[in-house]
Structure 1
Amino acid sequence: MHKLGIAITGSGSAVPETSLANEALTELVETSDEWITTRTGIRQRRVASPTESLSLLAAKAGRQAIAQAGITPEDVDLILLATSTPDDLFGSACQIQAELGATKAVAFDLTAACSGFVFGLVTAAQYIRTGVYQNVLLIGADILSRWVDWQDRRTCVLFGDGAGAVILQANESDRLLGFTLKSDGSQNHYLNLAYQAAAKELIPGVNISQGKYHPITMNGKEVYRFAVQKVPEVIDKTLFQANLTIDQIDWLVLHQANQRILDAVAQRLNIPNDKVISNLANYGNTSAASIPIALDEAVRQGKIKPNDTIAVSGFGAGLTWGAAIFQWGR
């Protein structure tokens, strides 16, 4: 008989070597450490060097999660890579599979921007609950420095690079207590990494488009408004589904976009600040990687302990947002 519950049994994370402090950004754009810190809470971020690939960062995080879960790469049935910045537009999950030696695993990419980890968590859970796979490696990884306009002071101060991972395993008891996922494409234009095409005539009467991706553009005010309204709503909905109250949550791990958003969401939910995990001061917004990096750090610092109840919520481009509540460990 297949075990159809889910446990999250291991975590890992990896960030590039190079750190870029706020002071260094003043050489690129007109800004100041004080301006960035007071508005975002970010003090520094990591940026990948030309030799650091997304696949290698993701594999490093994956290796740690596999080790912590006490399994081997050969035990992994599925590798899900949540990313918006693959090394290869056809997908990078298979490169990670090869890098890890996870010969049995099927691997594919999933794109939901900053909500990618939460969307990936729920996707992985479906494979386990249907009895198809027992061990799933979920990685959230992004190298946004490749796609930032380093002359745009509204966006270049926000983003950083990194990878985080968890192992989900089939388990007797189900530790994933609830989830809610949402999308609203009518607000898509507020946050984009868009393809911009130039028309090209192949032969007379046959036109195609060829072009490239343009850097990230964002309407910060609208994205802030969206997050502060929708995230508490979606967490409330998930609490109701899980039959829990907010005071039964031990830790709130939000997508690490902006300290002001974290504070506003905590305030609306009436959750004390000491239950809110925040590490964006050191890493900035790492998109799909932000929740698993924060989770892994808190686990390794001994903050998050087995059986702790954790609420996670991601939000971002799409626009997409979602929440999940789970208990840590078996």
Structure 2
Amino acid sequence: MSGVEIIGLGHFAPSRVVPNSEIENRLGLQSGWIKRRTGIEARRYAADDEALSDLAVAAGDMALKRAGFRRDDVALLLLATSTPDHLLPPSAPLVAHRLRLASAGGIDMAGACAGFIYALTLADSFVRTHGQAVLVIAANILSRRINPAERASSVLFADAAGAVLLAPSERDDAGVIGAHLAAAGAHYDLIKIPGGGSRKPFGADFDPAEALMAMPDGQSVYTKAVAMMATAATTALGKARVDVSDVNHFIPHQANARLMATVAHQIGVRPDVMRSTVDQFGNSSAATIPFTMSMAAEKTPNARGDIILMTAAGAGLSGGGAVFRS
């Protein structure tokens, strides 16, 4: 077997619904302001007793149960997250343990909004090389990293998890058939959490506000993210030798509705193949693509041979695009 197929999808969002009105009232914004500019109507926030691993386990468990796959046969868990349970140890080993993946390795991947694209690409290579299944989970609890006084991040970010179980396939042409990964470190500081790392460690004089997200120039983030996502998607299509008209499912990072529509227009994707959850679930960074893939498949299942185009960009700047044949 030299191909790769998706045999299970899963998703999870916390039960607490946060409508726009709650944020608009806090920030003194006019009613309807957030919906007009972002396309977001509501988002989900984790409960006080929920940690990142709880969301990840729920999504991963759904993917495994839907696949009916033996958990002992999963060889690797890749967890794409920017909000682990702790700075140390990594959360993936805990998630693997709670999912009863007794034979699996586990590692966190901090790729911000592009984390799932990176994890999917590496997982596909592992499955092809070793002939064993890989569970990819992307999850974030961004509600605890939002600066409540900063409009740019407050109106967008949310909490969710999505999971994809990859396994060997007898079809050589199945799996990631084209990918392009990108980084633009010159724009490293456009989205950041200033404190808590080795550059500015915790200490007696640490300002708690520096442990929150900062995005002071939202317009620059928008412009550069659109360019990176469109270029990555187009390049991935070229590597796959697939025309954009052949795409059956377009699942961009759910940054906001306006950005997604702009990227779709620039690469020429038909509006009817766009898959989106941003209106009710907001932007959960790396989780948005697998979360949306899982939810969309409940209404529009992926048929054998379908072309799925994914693209993302986020903090770092890091980004990428991938073309997956079901």
User: What TM-score bracket applies, with the shorter chain setting the length?
Assistant: over 0.9
1:222 aligns with: 220
Unaligned runs of 5+ in 2: none
CA contact (8 A) 2:42 2:282 kept: yes
Please list, as runs of the form range in 1=range in 2, the aligned pairs for 1:38-53 lying within 5 A after superposition: 38-53=36-51
The structural deviation recorded for 1:5 is 2.0
Over the matched positions of the two proteins, sequence identity in percent amounts to 34
CA contact (8 A) 1:54 1:86 kept: yes
The residue matched to 1:189 in structure 2 has which SS? coil
Match of 1:322 among 306, 316, 320: 320
1:194 aligns with: 194
Q: Deviations over 1:252-293 (max 9, x none)?
A: 100000111111111111222111111101111100110001
2:240 aligns with: 242
Report the structure, 1 or 2, having the larger strand content. 1
Aligned residue identity for 2:281: Y
Matching of residue 22 in structure 1 with residue 25 in structure 2 = no
Match of 2:231 among 233, 250, 260: 233
The structural deviation recorded for 1:200 is 6.7
TM-score normalised according to structure 1 size? 0.92
The structural deviation recorded for 1:130 is 1.8
1:152 aligns with: 150
The structural deviation recorded for 1:198 is 6.6
Report how many aligned residue pairs link the two structures. 318
The residue matched to 2:27 in structure 1 has which SS? coil
Q: Deviations over 1:57-98 (max 9, x none)?
A: 101100111122220222211010000000111211111111
For 2:156 and 2:269, the matched residues in 1 are separated by: 25
CA contact (8 A) 2:12 2:59 kept: yes
Matching of residue 177 in structure 1 with residue 177 in structure 2 = yes
CA contact (8 A) 1:30 1:153 kept: no
The residue matched to 2:188 in structure 1 has which SS? helix
For 2:31 and 2:212, the matched residues in 1 are separated by: 23
CA contact (8 A) 1:148 1:155 kept: yes
Matching of residue 111 in structure 1 with residue 78 in structure 2 = no
Please list, as runs of the form range in 1=range in 2, the aligned pairs for 1:17-166 lying within 5 A after superposition: 17-90=15-88, 91-131=90-130, 134-166=132-164
Query: Once structures 1 and 2 are overlaid, which stretch shifts more, 59-68 or 14-23?
Result: 59-68
The residue matched to 1:101 in structure 2 has which SS? coil
For 1:160 and 1:136, the matched residues in 2 are separated by: 26
Query: Once structures 1 and 2 are overlaid, which stretch shifts more, 28-37 or 254-263?
Result: 28-37
Q: Deviations over 1:145-203 (max 9, x none)?
A: 010011212210110000000001122224221100001111011111222637979xx
CA contact (8 A) 1:12 1:64 kept: yes
Change (3 A) 1:108 1:198: closer
For 2:184 and 2:313, the matched residues in 1 are separated by: 11
CA contact (8 A) 2:4 2:168 kept: yes
The residue matched to 2:77 in structure 1 has which SS? strand
Q: Deviations over 1:111-154 (max 9, x none)?
A: 100000000001112212222x5110000000000100112122
CA contact (8 A) 2:24 2:33 kept: no
Change (3 A) 1:251 1:200: closer
The residue matched to 1:115 in structure 2 has which SS? helix
TM-score normalised according to structure 2 size? 0.93
CA contact (8 A) 1:10 1:167 kept: yes
Higher Cα Rg: structure 1 or 2? Answer: 1
1:279 aligns with: 277
Change (3 A) 1:200 1:75: closer
Query: Once structures 1 and 2 are overlaid, which stretch shifts more, 191-200 or 231-240?
Result: 191-200
Aligned residue identity for 1:238: A
Please list, as runs of the form range in 1=range in 2, the aligned pairs for 1:232-271 lying within 5 A after superposition: 232-271=230-269
The residue matched to 1:136 in structure 2 has which SS? strand
The structural deviation recorded for 1:251 is 1.2
The residue matched to 1:298 in structure 2 has which SS? helix
Aligned residue identity for 1:161: D
Q: Deviations over 1:195-214 (max 9, x none)?
A: 2637979xxxxxxx977652
Aligned residue identity for 2:252: L
For 2:201 and 2:261, the matched residues in 1 are separated by: 43
